[in-house]
Amino acid sequence: MAEPAVAAPVLRLQGIRKDYGAEVVVQVLHGVDLALAAGEFAALVGPSGSGKSTLLNLVGLLDRPSGGTVWLSGEDTSALDDAGLTRLRGERLGFVFQFHHLLPAFSALENVMMPLLARHRRAAPWMVERGRELLQAVGLAALAARKPAQLSGGQQQRVAVARALVGRPALVLADEPTGNLDTHTSDEIFALLRGVAAAEGGTFLLVTHDRRLAERCDRIVTLVDGRIVSDERSPAAKGTGAPASG
């Protein structure tokens, strides 16, 4: 009997290097290998200057590595031109940042719909329905018509979470998504991220300096001086028996 096919990781990094400079070359990442399976919720931690933001930019297809390969949903991104990277980014990635970057002239609903509008160039009823569905999921259905200035910081970040998920991305990258919030609101946003991750079935890579939040993820990947020095199940995941992949 043939063995069942094993699904490709949502994200696979193989030998990722990143250098900056011409006459004086500074190597920021040194052969990073990492894989994330579908449905994983992983934290990327490390001291300031360890290369976390650089790595996230490469995973997000916002920059190209100096060496190695980024595989996204089984696709070798090194073979793509800039237009191909833009297409793949729009189709398979979602982004949540420390600062929400909402467009002030547009309503909460319009901000959530923005990735779909950018991809399809015109509005359609299903986009409105999808946007309202996600605003409901993040607890803001009643505030769909409000502009960002009429929302609290926590509410604005909830809109940003909904926007990241609107295109049903395979992978969501969250860069310090609670770093600009107080502890109570941080806990609310993190719980929201975990809840929508479970409901939507996506894979999350969360960059955080907050060890308390990292320990509530499935995996904790630690980056130091451009190298992964540990990749382990979190205390919370150990309690469930969930395996770490990598």
C-alpha radius of gyration, the chain, whole number: 18
- Distances from the Cα of 47 to the Cαs of 13, 15, 212, 229, in angstroms? 21, 21, 15, 12
pLDDT value at residue 243 = 47
pLDDT value at residue 35 = 94
Q: Domain limits of the chain? A: 40-50+82-238
SS3 239: coil
pLDDT value at residue 11 = 94
Pick left, alpha or beta for residue 31 (phi over 0 → left; psi -120 to 50 → alpha; otherwise beta).
Answer: left
In angstroms, the CA 172 to CA 56 distance is: 11
CATH superfamily to which 40-50+82-238 belongs? P-loop containing nucleotide triphosphate hydrolases (3.40.50.300)
* Helix H or strand E encompassing 158: helix 153-165
Beta strands 11-20 and 171-175, pairing class? unpaired
Residuewise pLDDT in 10s, the chain (246 residues): 444 445 678 999 999 999 988 778 888 999 999 999 988 999 999 988 888 889 999 999 999 999 999 999 888 998 899 999 988 888 889 888 777 789 999 999 999 998 888 888 788 889 899 999 889 888 889 999 999 999 988 889 889 988 988 888 899 998 887 777 778 878 888 888 888 778 777 899 999 888 888 888 989 999 999 999 988 887 666 655 454 544
Residues 54-90: tens digit of each pLDDT: 999 999 999 999 999 999 988 899 889 999 998 888 8
Residues 109-126: tens digit of each pLDDT: 999 998 888 888 788 889
**96 Cβ neighbours under 8 A, 6+ residues apart:** 157, 160, 161, 164, 172, 173, 174, 175, 177, 193
SS3 84: helix
The DSSP letter of residue 106 is: S
